[in-house]
Structure 1
Amino acid sequence: MGKLGKHNFMKRYSSISKYLPDTQAATKSKMIEMLGRYGSLYLKPDEGTGGRGIYKITKTDKKYILKGGTASRSYDSFEELYRSLHNLLVKNKYVVQKSIDLLKHNKRPLDIRVMVQTNRNRQLVVTGIIGRLAKARKIVTNFHSGGTPLPIETLLQSHLTGSKRSNYIKEIGKLGKQASVVLRESYRRNKAFGVDIAIDSNLKPWILEINTRPDMSIFNALKNKTMYRKILRYSKLKG
């Protein structure tokens, strides 16, 4: 399943559905409808990884703004914007997702990757949580698109302190595990899930996507290698 298939599968579970941002196939009518409802949305390849091919569309009073990478272009009408995207949408399957007003650290957006893996008893456990800080002026946080991996404690330090922060991080881990348990109903042989979680300005978490072949290298970018070594150890377990 691509992004939309996973989203629609998880949406059937009430424990998870409230954390899923509205996500639809990128048809012209859905883009118009969602821009009218939310004012801003993300356009993502259904099968894409690493933050490549992602755009942000924002509707203002007089313009439509399209951002991709660090580039930005404005259009006088939706029709004009849609014409610029038409070839892309014909050649590739895309989804549109409600834009989340991402929490920021040093004025740059952040999100979280939760690594969930199976133990020797085939039970899912959280083996790592890491923060990702977007590169200046970029719309995505992905490591391979210039995002900076940082300890989640660092990224949350200006928003939460002490036990509130540590308890919040635990809850984020629980949500990542809960989402992975749900998706494993469809991916029964999968041994690892990478859950991408956004946090909005009200500190509400949103499950953006679950990767069924998550990249472990992001955890190796941290100075402290404890999490990375644990993830590697779990990846080699039999069963």
Structure 2
Amino acid sequence: MGKLGKHNFMKKYNRINTVLPDTRAATKANLVSMINKYDSLYLKPNVGTGGFGIYKIIKKNNSFILKSGTRSTEYKSFQALYGSIQRVVSKKKYVVQKGIDLLKHEGRPFDIRVMVQKNRNRQLETTGIIGRLAKRNKIVTNYHNGGTPMKIDSLLKSHLRGSQRASVIKKIESLGREASVVLGKSLRGNKAFGVDIAIDSKMKPWVLEVNTRPDMSIFNTLKDKTMYRKILKYSKF
């Protein structure tokens, strides 16, 4: 099941649909409609991991900026922009997603990966949470694309006080589990989910994507191995 299939399945559930950013097939009509509605968009391969093949479109006055990797190109019209991405989006199935204005740490955007796994009683449980800080000037936070894994507490320090921080982290952990429970209704045999969550500048969390074969190695980068050991233990259930 690709990003669009997961999104369409999850948005049927009221308990989760308010935190799912608008995501559609990347047709020309959808791109036009969404660029008129939002300040920025992300183009992502419908199937694929690691943050590769992702583009960001930013609306700036009467022009459009297309970012990919660390490159940035400005187009004077939507038609010119579409001309440059048409080959990519038509060759491979892409989705277009509303851009979320991510919180930043030292000028670099970050998001959060929440690990959710089935415990010995076959119930889903949050087993890990980690922040992913984008490489300078990059649009993606993925570890395998130059992102830096960090403790979530460190990333939120400059935005929230201690007790607020603890409460937001708890909320994110529970949202990760909630998203996994919902998607798990469609994928009953799946034992682990990696939920990518963004926090916007108004402190609202958004579920960007739910990965059904999450990479556990990112948790091994933390100095404290408690979380990683728990994840490994649960992977055997």
- Do Structure 1 and Structure 2 share a fold, with TM-score over 0.5? yes
**Pairwise CA RMSD of aligned residues?**
0.7
In the alignment, which residue of structure 1 is the partner of 2:11?
11
1:100 paired with 2:104, answer no
1:203 equivalent in structure 2? 203
The residue that corresponds to 1:234 in the other structure is 234
- The answer for the alignment partner of 2:146 in structure 1 is 146
Matched with 1:32 is: 32
Match of 1:110 in 2: 110
Give the secondary-structure state (helix, strand or coil) at the position aligned to 1:127.
Answer: strand
Distance, in Å, in 2 between the alignment partners of 1:90 and 1:33 is 18
| Corresponding residue number in structure 1 for 2:89 | 89
In 2, Cα distance between equivalents of 1:28 and 1:228: 43
Q: What CA deviation, in whole Å up to 9, does each residue of 1:118-148 have, x standing for no partner?
A: 0111000000000000000000100011000
Cross-structure match for 1:73 = 73
Q: Deviations over 1:53-72 (max 9, x none)?
A: 00001121131110000000
Give the Å deviation of 1:184.
Answer: 0.4
Match of 1:162 in 2: 162
Please state how far the C-alpha of 1:39 moved relative to its aligned partner: 2.1
What residue ranges of structure 2 are gaps of 5+ in the alignment?
Answer: none
Letter matched to residue 166 of structure 2: S
Counterpart secondary structure, 2:132:
strand
1:22 equivalent in alignment to 2:15: no
Q: TM-score scaled by structure 1?
A: 0.98
Instruction: Give, in whole Å, the separation in 2 of the partners of 1:39 and 1:143.
Output: 26
CA–CA distance in 2 between the matches of 1:33 and 1:98?
Answer: 11
Count of residue pairs the alignment pairs up = 237
Taking the aligned partners of 1:227 and 1:11, their CA distance within structure 2 comes to 30
Structure 1 unaligned segments of length 5 or more: list them.
none
Query: Which whole-Å CA distance do the structure 1 matches of 2:109 and 2:58 have between them?
Result: 16
Other structure's SS at 2:135 match: coil
State how far apart, in whole Å, the 2-side matches of 1:221 and 1:10 are: 31
Percent identity (aligned): 67
C-alpha distance in structure 2 between counterparts of 1:220 and 1:200, whole Å: 27
Q: Which amino acid aligns with 1:199?
A: I
Q: For 1:88-144, what per-residue CA distance to the aligned partner results, in whole angstroms no more than 9, with x for missing partners?
A: 112100000000010111111010000000011100000000000000000010001
Q: Hey, what's the Cα distance between the residues in 2 that align with 1:166 and 1:128? A: 15
Distance 2:80 2:34 in 1: 17
